[in-house]
Amino acid sequence: MGIKVAKFGGSSLADANQFKKVKQILLSDPDRRFAVPSAPGKRFKDDSKITDLLYKCYRQVEKGEDFQSAFSVIEERYRQIAFDLALDIDIDGLLDQTGKDIRRVATPDFAASRGEYLNGVLLSAYLGWDFIDPKNYIRFDRQGVFAEEWTNELLGSELRKHEHAVIPGFYGSVPNGEIRTFSRGGSDITGAVVARAAGAELYENWTDVSGFLMADPRIVENPREIRYLTYAELRELSYMGATVLHEESIFPVHKAGIPTNIKNTNDPAHPGTMILEKTPEGVQNAITGIAGHKNFSLISIEKAMLNSEKGFCRRVLSVLEDFDISIEHMPTGIDTVSVVVADSEIQDRAGEITHRIKEVCQPDHIEISGGIALIATVGVGMVRSPGTAAKLFNGLHRAGVNVRMIDQGSSELNIIVGVDTGDFDKAVRAIYEAFNA
Ligand code: ASP
Q: Is residue 165 part of a domain?
A: yes
- Going from the Cα of 201 to the center of ligand 1, the distance in angstroms, rounded, reads 25
Average pLDDT rounded to a whole number, residues 130-158: 97
3-state SS class at 47: coil
Is 226 a domain residue?
no
**Residues 371 and 420 sit within 8 Å (Cβ to Cβ):** yes
Say if residue 88's pLDDT is above 80. Answer: yes
Does the structure show a pLDDT above 90 at 306?
no
Residue 75 has pLDDT above 90, yes or no: yes
The tens digit of pLDDT for each residue in 189-210 reads: 999 999 999 999 999 999 999 9
Q: Do both 196 and 54 map to the same domain?
A: yes
Q: Give yes or no: residues 296 and 204 share one domain.
A: no
Work out the pLDDT band at 284, boundaries 50, 70, 90: confident
Q: Do 32 and 181 belong together in one domain?
A: yes
User: Could you say which of 182, 208, 234 is where a domain stops?
Assistant: 208
Residues 293 and 194 in one domain: no
Pairing between β-strand 403-408 and β-strand 273-276 as defined by DSSP bridges: unpaired
- Mean pLDDT across the chain, nearest whole number? 94
Residues 307 and 406 in one domain: yes
432 lines ligand 1 (CB under 6 A): no
Last residue of a domain, one of 208, 225, 250: 208
Asked whether residue 263 is domain-assigned, the answer is no
* Region 248-259 average pLDDT: 94
In a domain, 299, yes or no: yes
Domain that includes residue 92, residue range: 4-208
Q: How confident is the model at residue 53, as a pLDDT?
A: 97
Is residue 166 located within the same domain as residue 31?
Answer: yes
Within this chain, do residues 158 and 41 fall inside the same structural domain, yes or no? yes
Ligand 1 atom with least separation from CA of 187: 8
In a domain? residue 250: no
Q: Residue 361 maps to which CATH number?
A: 3.30.2130.10
Is residue 80 exposed (0-12), middle (13-18) or buried (19+ Cβ within 10 Å)?
Answer: middle
pTM beyond 0.85, yes or no: yes
The number of folded domains in the chain is 2
Q: Is residue 269 situated within a structural domain? A: no
pLDDT level of residue 301 (50, 70, 90 thresholds): very high
Distances in Å between the alpha carbon of 60 and those of 64, 92, 93, 112, 173? 6, 22, 22, 13, 23
User: Average of pLDDT values for 172-201?
Assistant: 97
Would you say residue 230 lies in a domain?
no
404 C-alpha vs ligand 1 centroid, how far in Å? 37
- Tell me, in angstroms, the distance from the centre of ligand 1 to residue 186's CA: 6
Question: How much is the average pLDDT of 347-364?
Answer: 94
Domain assignment present for residue 234? The answer is no
Question: Are 311 and 425 found together in one domain?
Answer: yes
* CATH for 61: 3.40.1160.10
pLDDT at 66 over 80: yes
Check if 172 has its Cβ closer than 6 Å to any atom of ligand 1: no
Do 149 and 296 lie in a common domain? Answer: no
Last residue of a domain, one of 175, 208, 241: 208
Predicted pLDDT at 372: 95
Q: 296 — phi, psi (to 5°)?
A: -120, 160
> Domain check: are 167 and 39 in the same one?
yes
> Which atom of ligand 1 lies nearest, measured to the CA of 116?
1
Residues 322 and 415 in one domain: yes
* Same-domain pairing of 299 and 203: no
- Minimal CA–CA distance to 151: which of 255, 275, 43? 255
Least confident interval from 137-141, 378-382, 405-409? 405-409
